[in-house]
Amino acid sequence: MKFIETLKNIWKIEALRSRIIVTLGFLLVYRFGAHIPLPGIDASQLNQLADNTQSGLLGLLNAFTGGAFAKASILALGIMPYISASIVVQLMGIAVPYLQKLQKEGESGRKRLNQITRWLTIAITLVQAPSYLASLPALGIPESAFLLGYSTLFWTSSIIILTTGTVFAMWLGEKITDKGIGNGISLLIMVGIIARMPVAFIQEFSSRVTESNGGLILILIEVIIWLLVIMASIMLVLAVRQIPVQYARRSATGVMEKNVAGSRQYIPLKLNASGVMPIIFAQAIMFIPAAVIGLSESDTAQSFTAALSNIFGFWYNLLFAVLIILFTYFYTAITVPTNKMADDLKRSGGFIPGIRPGKETSEYLDKIMSQITFPGSLFLALIAIMPAFVVNIVGIQQSWALFYGGTSLLILVGVAIDTLQQVNSYLLNKHYDGLMKTGKNRKAIA
């Protein structure tokens, strides 16, 4: 079989094999840590906490942490503080001149920004850890579960451990990126989501079959819908618009000769150049309004909190979709430098037919990006709020519905494609057929 042959080729490449083993090892360590409860908490008395984090925003946060949130684990906060810190740093990069300067300094500036993000992650965790601990009794943990008592000793040790756990998860993610395969932070989120998928499907299957709530026919229809959404997500991630580019050369007399035969190439501009980051950013922001408004005890504030905590409700999904559209434009603007692309084309003798090199090329590329980003952002937002449709129309259970689009499915698809593309590049460099194309093996060139 072609797939088995490709796996054998992957195993033959020593550098790729070692990176995959390192990645799997780090992910295994992360999953192991998600099952270690905080010292001083009786893990056998956490059933009510698990039940209260099955749905709503808490259910989504629990999915992001791979169930660690509901287990009162040392990794209960997961990698989310790091995501929040990254959002803050990138948003501040628009308004803070010092951060703007660092963004333009290349590798040295990137390292400095990463260091700022790390310190900000610790600061955010020091705020989120006490909030998490304070919410445990309200989420159903009985007083007897606190073996050390709900004391200063428990609070101090738990805050330190939760902060250390987040820093450790951040370190794992960075090590996977450097020593493994794929984006480490995204892989940590993905593996946590995947860990929740079998349980969610078993619950849905049990509801449909054993409780005579539609039977196997409805399960089959749900799986077909799920596969269609996956295909749509893959199309969204891979769709590009090709901008034709030609190159000029100088003749013996120094005159630039344009329209050189065979010199036409293309600039691939993605329909969704920002990937899954707008989803992650918007999801992180969505945790804030409900938490802030929930501090007030007024009836109006409580009604707002209820509306923004229902991840399958109208107002939550409307705000979520708007944030995704805005973040798609924002992230595309900072990741697709049209000015730099235009300058590079001009220096290399390239030009877009009918467009003057330089400023006009930059404006043209920016216009094209705006045109293709708009439908891309709408499509991204539609897939993101798909779980609300399948819950309210099809009647799918909430835990399984999270995989019908939304943050969960798009992260799975986006991270999987990104990782496969990296594996594919290793295979093609060694003259093997990749995972993302068909055909027979080509003999490696020594």
Helix (H), strand (E), coil (C) string for 89-126: HHHHHHHCHHHHHHHCCHHHHHHHHHHHHHHHHHHHHH
Average pLDDT over residues 66-70: 83
Record the tokens describing residue 62, joined without a space.
């629990």
Record the tokens describing residue 223, joined without a space.
């799986």
Average pLDDT over residues 263-282: 77
- Angstrom distance (rounded) from CA 90 to CA 97: 12
% of residues, the chain, pLDDT over 90: 11
Is the pLDDT at 56 greater than 80? The verdict is no
How much of the chain is in helix, strand and coil states, percent to nearest 5? 70, 5, 25
- Tell me: do 356 and 440 sit in the same domain: yes
- Tell me: do 98 and 65 sit in the same domain: yes
Q: For position 120, what pLDDT does the model report? A: 93
- Tell me: do 1 and 73 sit in the same domain: no
Give the number of other Cβ atoms within 10 Å of residue 197's Cβ. Answer: 17
- Angstrom distance (rounded) from CA 35 to CA 75: 8
Is 140 inside any structural domain?
Answer: yes
Q: Of 147, 180, 213, which marks where a domain is finished?
A: 180
Strand partners, 241: 269
Q: For position 438, what pLDDT does the model report? A: 47
Bridge pairing between strands 240-247 and 249-250: unpaired
CATH code: domain of residue 339: 1.10.3370.10
- Residue found under tokens 């013996």: 252
Is the pLDDT at 443 greater than 50? The verdict is no
- Residue found under tokens 């099955």: 54
Is 209 inside any structural domain?
Answer: yes
Q: For position 126, what pLDDT does the model report? A: 92
- Which residues, 6 or more positions from 360, have their beta carbon under 8 angstroms from its beta carbon? none
Phi/psi at 256 (nearest 5 deg)? Answer: -75, 125
Radius of gyration of the chain (CA): 25
Q: For position 444, what pLDDT does the model report? A: 37
- Which residues, 6 or more positions from 182, have their beta carbon under 8 angstroms from its beta carbon? 23, 176, 415, 418, 419, 422
- Tell me: do 164 and 234 sit in the same domain: no
Domain assignment of residue 310, given as a range? 1-14+195-446
- Tell me: do 302 and 430 sit in the same domain: yes
Is the pLDDT at 220 greater than 50? The verdict is yes
Give the number of other Cβ atoms within 10 Å of residue 176's Cβ. Answer: 25
Is 155 inside any structural domain?
Answer: yes
Q: Of 131, 149, 180, which marks where a domain is finished?
A: 180
Is the pLDDT at 227 greater than 70? The verdict is yes
CB 51 within 8 A of CB 140: yes
Q: For position 435, what pLDDT does the model report? A: 57
- Angstrom distance (rounded) from CA 177 to CA 171: 10
Is the pLDDT at 77 greater than 80? The verdict is yes
Confidence of residue 163 (pLDDT cuts 50, 70, 90): very high
Record the tokens describing residue 144, joined without a space.
């007897």
Q: For position 255, what pLDDT does the model report? A: 44
Is 185 inside any structural domain?
Answer: no
Is the pLDDT at 68 greater than 70? The verdict is yes
Is the pLDDT at 16 greater than 70? The verdict is yes
- Tell me: do 80 and 226 sit in the same domain: no
Average pLDDT over residues 417-424: 82
Q: Which of 234-243, 311-320, 399-408 has the highest mean pLDDT?
A: 311-320
- Tell me: do 94 and 202 sit in the same domain: no
Q: Of 126, 153, 180, which marks where a domain is finished?
A: 180
- Tell me: do 10 and 44 sit in the same domain: no
Tens of pLDDT, residues 243-261:
777 766 544 444 445 554 4
Average pLDDT over residues 397-421: 80
| Higher per-residue pLDDT: 129 or 245 | 129
Is the pLDDT at 401 greater than 60? The verdict is yes
Is 23 inside any structural domain?
Answer: no
- Tell me: do 66 and 129 sit in the same domain: yes
Is 399 inside any structural domain?
Answer: yes
- Residue found under tokens 């295909």: 231
- Tell me: do 173 and 201 sit in the same domain: no
| Higher per-residue pLDDT: 328 or 296 | 328
- Angstrom distance (rounded) from CA 282 to CA 287: 9
- Tell me: do 134 and 248 sit in the same domain: no
Tens of pLDDT, residues 98-117:
887 887 777 788 888 889 99
Weakest mean pLDDT among 162-176, 332-346, 429-443 = 429-443
Range 387-416 burial, b when 16+ CB lie within 10 A, else e: bbbbbeeeebbbbbbbbbbbbbbbbbbbbb
Is 189 inside any structural domain?
Answer: no
- Tell me: do 283 and 402 sit in the same domain: yes
Provide the CB-side half-sphere exposure for 93 (13 A, CA): 24
Is 285 inside any structural domain?
Answer: yes
Number of domains the chain is built from: 2
